[in-house]
Structure 1
Amino acid sequence: MNMDDSVKIYGLCLERLKHQIKNAKDRLAAETRTTPDHVLLESYYTGESEDIIDILELYDLEEKTFESLREKLNDLAYTVSVLVSETLTFGFTEEGHLGLYLSIPDRSLSPSAFAVNHSA
């Protein structure tokens, strides 16, 4: 997909995310301890629904419930994941703030671990 990196999806800038992903991967490559299963790329320093809607510019959210916000965040994470070719998820930090996370594949799994058994 040939897309301008300055594109924003709601409040997420693809160029900024790609830069953050590269930095996170560089830090992980230099890490000598065990690799985490996810890395925080951005924290929005709030857990309040209204603040999250404003920060991420989710103004088309019809119902302002936490459940509808969660669904919107899942959809947004999926869309951006496809555009940056990485798995991104929203979650909450230990402080209770919404964050955007990069999922790190388990490096100990070989490609054969994902093979489908067709003989069953």
Structure 2
Amino acid sequence: MLRSLSSHHYITGALLVCATFTLACTQNSAEPCDMAIAVRVQSSRETLRVGDTTTVRASATTCVGRETPTYTWRYSVNDSSIARINASTGLLTSRTAGTVTVQAESDAVLTRGFLNITVTP
């Protein structure tokens, strides 16, 4: 339920922000909007066994779908008893079985990105 709720809010918020900034950018400049409005958080593995590690990476796209320059991302998890994450590198270490939500945010981006990681025994 958390994943679908987050996805719904992510899409709704991204569309609203995109519509607002697309209008503002197209009225104020000849260039397409370069403001990052959508964040994607990815990992090569979304299912881990206890003790495994993976690195999550965030990226952002603009109103017109272009990937933005590299930002400094901060990573966190909603339950550090299931997994711990290095806030600056995105290295996640699983600790116990369960599902953990990873969040990525940057001061340069208006929205956050989320990814669920499942840890099995």
TM-score range, shorter chain: under 0.3
| TM-score, normalised relative to structure 2 | 0.24
Bigger share in helix: 1
Instruction: Give 1 or 2: higher strand fraction.
Output: 2
